[in-house]
């Protein structure tokens, strides 16, 4: 008979933090080779086009960054929340809250001086995502409602709010599709490279990496947030207001996800549609974990994800594969 003995694992050495995610990536590529071979594809060509499609031309490289920016923001959002053990599975809903707010403002701010339009939209989008995340944080701290469940369910609440508005007051006049009117010109993100989609949102996302790193490493709030995540009882014993820490952490986390929504709306779609996000919020969870919840790690893992996404599009079109 086989007997198991459960014992505590020895702490992992420092290099493991880098090697394990890389190993995960290698294993993924190996496993993905199996269906390619079964389908009779050329393995090396497939992977060549995967990476060529993402990095091989100037346009593709820029596209990879375009795709990376919402993933980076939702990844940061999740990582920042998870660090404080606020299990924010709701970045998707917070992203939509940001996009929805940007739509309402972006369509209706015709009378506002053009230079104020974008700053207002960005701040409002951040706030909307933040508030949408602060709700489950308050439920968790005040009523002990499980945050995994509440953040997840609020995603569906936001999808339905968005649907109700897109079939109602926000619907483009004269359209029978669930889509809003286009936002005004002043509400669109400036392009950094002409004739591409390389927009300001990418800089915002990179700036967010720096800000989150700074908060984590240099501020008392980052210290408190880490302490709460590591041992909430000891943090409380040490005089930290754990409720405030969790709610503020949620606000910042949701705000980052909200910024992802603003970016997708004001730089890519220019109008709200039901499928404005192909699950960026959920991808953010995987990206945050792959990046070890560290802002720089999240930067790399979001770039990796976007290489795969953009590369896969080229791969399918090069081989005329039918992805359905």
Partner 1 sequence: MPSARQPMVRMSSVTKYFLDVTANNDVNFDLYAGEICALLGENGAGKTTLMNILFGYYACDEGEIFIKGQKADLASPKDAIALGVGMIHQHFALVPSQTVLENIVIGTDTGRGPFLDMKKARRTLLDLEVQFGLQIDPDARVWTLSVGEQQKVEILKALYRDVDILVMDEPTAVLAPAETDDLFKTLKSLVAQGRAVVFISHKLNEVMDISDRVVVLRGGRVVAQRLTAETNVRELANLMVGRDLLEDIAKKPLEPGPPVLEIRNLDALNDRDLPAIKNLHLAVRQNEILGMAGISGNGQRELSEVLFGLRDPVRGSISITGQPLRFGNPSSAINLKMGRIPEDRIGTGLLMDLSVEENMILEDHASTRFQTWGLMKSKRIHRYSDDLIDAYNIATAGRDAVTKSLSGGNLQKVMLARELAGRPAVVIAAQPTRGLDVGAMEYIHQRILQERERGAGILLISEDLDEVFALSDRIVVIYEGEIVGEASGENASREQIGLWMSGVRQ
Q: By the criterion CB under 8 A, which residues form the site for partner 1?
A: 3, 11, 218-221, 223-224, 226-227, 230-231, 233-241
Which one, 175 or 217, has the nearer CB to partner 1? 217
Nearest CA among 205, 202, 180, 179 for reference residue 190: 202
Which one, 3 or 324, has the nearer CB to partner 1? 3
**Smallest distance from the beta carbon of 201 to partner 1, in angstroms?**
27
Which one, 44 or 237, has the nearer CB to partner 1? 237
Q: In whole angstroms, what separates CA 261 from the centre of its chain?
A: 9
**Smallest distance from the beta carbon of 221 to partner 1, in angstroms?**
6
Which one, 238 or 278, has the nearer CB to partner 1? 238
d(CA 239, CA 160): 41
Residues ≥6 apart with Cβ < 8 Å to 270: 182, 183, 188
Which one, 10 or 324, has the nearer CB to partner 1? 10
**Smallest distance from the beta carbon of 7 to partner 1, in angstroms?**
13
Distance (Å) of CA 67 to CA 88, 189, 198, 305, 307: 22, 15, 9, 9, 9
**Smallest distance from the beta carbon of 229 to partner 1, in angstroms?**
9
3-state secondary structure of 48: helix
Which one, 34 or 234, has the nearer CB to partner 1? 234
Residues ≥6 apart with Cβ < 8 Å to 277: 70, 92, 95, 96, 99, 260, 261, 264
**Smallest distance from the beta carbon of 19 to partner 1, in angstroms?**
20
**Smallest distance from the beta carbon of 218 to partner 1, in angstroms?**
6
Q: CB-based burial of residue 61 (10 Å sphere; 0-12 exposed, 13-18 middle, 19+ buried)? A: middle
Distance (Å) of CA 180 to CA 42, 45, 47, 230: 44, 42, 39, 44
Phi, psi of 88 (to 5 degrees): -85, 100
Which one, 176 or 233, has the nearer CB to partner 1? 233
**Smallest distance from the beta carbon of 255 to partner 1, in angstroms?**
17
CB atoms within 10 A of CB 154: 23
């Amino acid at each position: 008979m086989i007997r198991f003995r459960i014992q505590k694992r020895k702490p992992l050495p420092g290099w493991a933090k880098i090697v394990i995610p890389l190993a995960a990536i290698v294993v993924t590529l190996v496993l993905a080779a199996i269906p390619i071979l079964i389908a009779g594809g050329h393995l090396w060509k497939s992977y060549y086009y995967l990476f060529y499609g993402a990095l091989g031309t100037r346009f593709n490289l820029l596209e990879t960054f375009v795709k990376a920016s919402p993933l980076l923001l939702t990844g940061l959002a999740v990582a920042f929340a998870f660090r404080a053990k606020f299990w924010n599975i709701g970045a998707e809903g917070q992203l939509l809250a940001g996009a929805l707010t940007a739509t309402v403002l972006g369509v209706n701010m015709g009378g506002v001086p053009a230079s104020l339009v974008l700053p207002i939209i960005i701040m409002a989008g951040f706030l909307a995502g933040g508030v949408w995340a602060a709700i489950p944080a308050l439920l968790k701290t005040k009523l002990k409602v499980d945050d995994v469940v509440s953040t997840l369910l609020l995603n569906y609440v936001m999808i339905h709010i968005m649907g109700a508005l897109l079939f109602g007051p926000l619907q483009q006049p004269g359209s029978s599709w669930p889509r809003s009117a286009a936002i005004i010109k002043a509400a669109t993100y400036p392009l950094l490279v002409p004739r591409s989609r390389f927009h300001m949102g990418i800089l915002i996302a990179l700036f967010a990496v720096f800000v989150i790193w700074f908060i984590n490493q240099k501020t008392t709030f980052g210290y408190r947030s880490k302490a709460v995540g590591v041992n909430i009882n000891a943090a409380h014993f040490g005089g930290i207001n754990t409720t405030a820490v969790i709610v503020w952490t949620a606000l910042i986390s949701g705000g980052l996800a909200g910024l992802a929504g603003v970016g997708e709306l004001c730089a890519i779609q220019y109008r709200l549609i039901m499928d404005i996000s192909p699950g960026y919020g959920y991808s953010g969870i995987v990206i945050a974990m792959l990046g070890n919840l560290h802002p720089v790690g999240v930067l790399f893992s979001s770039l990796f994800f976007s290489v795969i996404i953009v590369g896969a599009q080229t791969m399918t079109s090069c081989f005329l594969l039918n992805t359905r």
